[in-house]
Structure 1
Amino acid sequence: MTRTDPPFAGRTVQAVFFDIGGPIYDDENFATAVLAALDDLLAEQGRPPADRARFRAVYDGVRAAQSGSLRRALAAEFLGDERRRDDLHARTRRYWRHGPGTLHPDVLPCLRALHGRVRIGALANQEADVLDALRRDGVAPFIQVWAVSALVGHEKPDPALFEWAVKEAGTSPANAVHVGNRLDTDVRPARALGLGTVWVLRGEAPPEPTAEQLAEPDVALPDLRTLPRLLLGTRPGDGDRRA
């Protein structure tokens, strides 16, 4: 799924920022939390839990479109008013955790290969307690820039979050790359500021992206195994034979 020309030719990569849900942790953590929150709100209305097939259809529709808020779409579909998105957002916080065993296995080998060669950042819309999971799973020691929405006060796709991360990394957009799994909140805002872009095709990425979607990032990858080589010319196994 990569392009034939070197995706970052001419770009001196000094900083790499990772979205958390999708690239680092299984995005089902988020989907499960939203579904539990939705069931809560339905129960408060005296209604049964959300139909799982309908829920998945809405979720997959947002994934395919690569635009729009999942919680807004679910609020419209199940709660009858898209304005209840804020209620669903607030209730989701109660359940949203990245539990043990949900870290993707290619994450630590990738970070080890990049460590010491670039500044590594987390750039994501997440709650503050995501730091606990990242510490537990051995990711936190590799992170030098914490551009987490709950900590910084900006949310993707607001360019302010990307600008904050670039400044904190002490570099420029031309020398930075963002790794995410959505076009609307990751690839497009990063590209608009001049960052390199990597689209990881898992989680909230569509299962069958279109040719037009694949043309938007600098490179689209199924996982993180080849990312160090693409960014820096390193072998994905550098620093860890399991990569």
Structure 2
Amino acid sequence: MGARLWLLDLDDTLLQDLSVTREVLEALGEEAGVKGLFGAVRARAEALFRQAPFYPWAERLGHSALEALWARYSTPGLEGWAAWAWPFREQVFREALEALGGPAERARELAEAFFQRRRRYPLFPEVPEFLLALRERGAHLVLLTNGVPDLQREKLAGAGLLEAFSLTLISGEVGLGKPDPRLFRMAFCAHGVAPEEAVMVGDNPQRDVQGALLAGAKAVWVDRGHRPPDPRFPPHLAVRDLREALALLG
């Protein structure tokens, strides 16, 4: 029997994420007269994010340093994050600009510009056809995404995916993040499906592939060119286009 339950990751699986961040930052760098702003911001954001008082929680739930630069933190319970965020963002841009010999006095301006311009939600080109093919074959579709609730739901709304899934599990809402197999089992139980009838599709070997293997599901690794394969967690199938995974429908 082919896979009945399809667990789908969001960022860099269905939704173009890192490439949009890079494009926005590179454009802002050009406007500020510096080259390499994406790399400098990413390095400073990741280093400073590890010093945040909430970092262990963010790491466990899969909320990244780059996302912290544009999350609204409007979810009830994240008021502390909201108060922390703008000083963090300004410091990230100031240190990045200083490292590049750029106008550090424009740090707040650039941080605010990134916060506004980053709100783009393009899907990968094959996603509509892929999702339609799954639905036509009677597959159950579940979104399994790590991150803070308000940002992940904003992405879903912006990408037109709010109604695409029978169940949406966001790590920040349920308190469990991939690769914790309990998150996967929630989806199995909700649909009355055995692990071997499920497939997880995602771009992150450590979170998506490992989680699927721990939970007993099939794992499809989507190579978007951002992450290398991890030999510790071999997927059942590696693809570059989501439509290649339809072979698992049986």
TM-score (norm 2): 0.62
Compared CA separation, residues 13 and 25, structure 1 to 2 (3 A): same
How far apart are residue 29 of structure 1 and its match? 6.5
Which position in structure 1 is the counterpart of 2:71?
93
Which position in structure 2 is the counterpart of 1:40?
none
Contact 1:22 1:203 in 2 (8 A): no
Equivalenced residue count is 189
Contact 1:179 1:198 in 2 (8 A): yes
Q: Are 1:127 and 2:148 an aligned pair?
A: yes
Structure of greater Rg: 2
How far apart are residue 157 of structure 1 and its match? 1.9
Partner deviation per Cα, 1:153-207 (whole Å, 9 max, x = no partner):
211222221111221222121110000101111101211111000000016423x
Distance in 2 of aligned mates of 1:120 and 1:52 = 34
Contact 2:237 2:245 in 1 (8 A): no
SS in structure 2 of the partner of residue 112 of structure 1: helix
Partner deviation per Cα, 1:49-108 (whole Å, 9 max, x = no partner):
x9544456x5xxxxxxxxxxx97xx22xxx3x83337365755523496624x1111111
Partner letter of residue 196 of structure 1?
K
Which position in structure 2 is the counterpart of 1:118?
139
RMSD: 3.6
How far apart are residue 134 of structure 1 and its match? 2.7
Structure 2: runs of 5 or more not aligned = 26-35, 56-64, 73-114
Contact 2:182 2:215 in 1 (8 A): no
Compared CA separation, residues 198 and 126, structure 1 to 2 (3 A): same
Q: Are 1:13 and 2:3 an aligned pair?
A: yes
Distance in 1 of aligned mates of 2:39 and 2:158 = 33
Identity value in percent: 30
Distance in 2 of aligned mates of 1:193 and 1:151 = 20
Contact 2:20 2:120 in 1 (8 A): no
Q: Are 1:83 and 2:51 an aligned pair?
A: yes
SS in structure 2 of the partner of residue 84 of structure 1: coil
Contact 2:7 2:143 in 1 (8 A): yes
Distance in 1 of aligned mates of 2:161 and 2:238 = 23
Higher helix share: 2
Which position in structure 2 is the counterpart of 1:191?
213
TM-score (norm 1): 0.64
Distance in 2 of aligned mates of 1:114 and 1:98 = 28
Distance in 2 of aligned mates of 1:128 and 1:184 = 21
Instruction: Identify which of 2, 16, 27 aligns with 2:17.
Output: 27
Structure 1: runs of 5 or more not aligned = 1-10, 36-49, 59-69, 234-243
Which position in structure 1 is the counterpart of 2:161?
139
Contact 2:145 2:169 in 1 (8 A): yes
